[in-house]
Amino acid sequence: MESIVIVGGGIIGTNIAYALRHHDDVTLIEKNTLGSGTTAASMGRPSWDSAHPFNTYLQREAWRTYGPLIEDGSVAFDRSGYMIVANDDIQLEAIRAKAATLTEYGFEPEILEGRAVEPHGLDPSAVTGGLYFPEGGYINQQDAVEYFAEGARAEGVHIETGTAVTDIQTEHGHVSGVETTSETYRADIVVNAAGPWAPKINDFVDVSLPLRHTTGPILVLETESELSIPYLSKLEGAFYFRPEGPSKALAGRRWGRYDEAERLDPDTAIEIPESFRNDVSRIAKEYLPQLADAALINEWIGLRTITPDFNPIVGNLLTRGPDGLLVACGMSGAGVGLAPVISRVLVDTIDGVDSDLRRILSADRFGAGRTETDAS
């Protein structure tokens, strides 16, 4: 009987556990509580804002899983609408091209120009337009984590929380076990789905992948009156806002460039810079009249794990590490939106099913044996 151990209990790890629930011996190990890491710190949005056909394909495929769960009430989804903001004429032309790609894949975005953005909370004098999805919004990621975890448990998957992985054992070039703070688990296959902790897990077996971290600060703003905005993306190219209930909004910033990122310690507290708070305050005043006088009531920061091409690394590592070590890491901020597709690739890998996705998302796209130092 083949034993599989999944390291990491966020949206990726729990979804993989759910996808593998019919295998005989599957264990998921989470150092804290399920969904408490990067998943909890995210905005919870399925990602629809890529003009690249491959990324749009991934988004559509993930929605094949999420759509039915949302419709039957298993996972909450706030249909606030979703808009990619065009700050100037050049960006407006770019989102026209983006809209064409998205339409080819079955999405139905609208191009808004001028005063057409005003009903969505934007000052029309501050932006040129936007690409708007009336059916867009954001998923409750904790609902999804719980749904996948409960479904996995119901089929016999063992889920261990409050337990940190301390080492990965190998024998004759193959993984053989996972040591934790409580016990050692036999393992024929180990899946590294540890989010920002993934590089630490790889270190146990001397595997180096081109993974770096960027910070994801989020502020919670509150207004005195009812707020009416969609999920707004790419204000000034990098900032985004989304509603949170009737009078609150979350404000965040997209990740930076890979060559400017570095490897960080996810167990070390990171403070939100004052410059970010100042930027959010300024942008709210300039672009969003409803948030001009909003009060800051909470804040947090998470780590995103990025790759050079901002696509995940999924599957086996071939020449990079021991046999039986699989990875599902480097989600680059899209883990919630892409989790069902990532799980499918992992199941295909374990079951020996060849697929285009396995090849495209493989670590081999960065060159055999390439290390983080090589990627610099």
Give 126-156 pLDDT, tens digit per residue: 999 999 988 888 999 999 999 999 999 999 9
Q: What angle do CA 190, 183, 22 make, to 5 degrees?
A: 45
pLDDT of residue 103: 84
**Mean pLDDT of all residues belonging to the chain:** 91
Domain spanning 78-134+214-306, CATH class: alpha beta
Tokens representing 37 are 């890491």
CATH homologous superfamily, domain 3-40+142-211+309-375: FAD/NAD(P)-binding domain (3.50.50.60)
Contact call for residues 376 and 211 (beta carbons, < 8 A): no
pLDDT of residue 372: 47
Among the listed residues 38, 20, 40, 39, the one whose alpha carbon sits nearest the alpha carbon of residue 28:
20
Say which residue, 107 or 358, is predicted with more confidence: 358
- Region 83-90: mean pLDDT is 94
Would you list the domain boundaries of the chain? Answer: 3-40+142-211+309-375, 78-134+214-306
- Region 323-345: mean pLDDT is 94
List pLDDT tens digits, range 252-267: 998 788 999 999 999 9
CA dihedral 341, 46, 141, 297 (to 10 degrees): 150
pLDDT of residue 194: 98
Contact call for residues 39 and 335 (beta carbons, < 8 A): yes
Amino acid 271 reads E
Which of the residue ranges 212-216, 305-309, 372-376 would you say has the lowest mean pLDDT?
372-376
pTM of the full predicted structure?
A: 0.92
| Per-residue DSSP letter, 187 | -
* Predicted confidence (pLDDT) at residue 376 exceeds the cutoff of 50: no
Measured CA to CA, the distance from residue 227 to residue 219 in angstroms comes to 16
Give per-residue burial for 79-113: e unless 16+ CB within 10 Å, then b.
Answer: ebbbbbbbbeeebbeebeebbebbeeeebebeebe
Tokens representing 235 are 């204000």
Measured CA to CA, the distance from residue 181 to residue 175 in angstroms comes to 18
Measured CA to CA, the distance from residue 320 to residue 323 in angstroms comes to 9
pLDDT of residue 49: 57
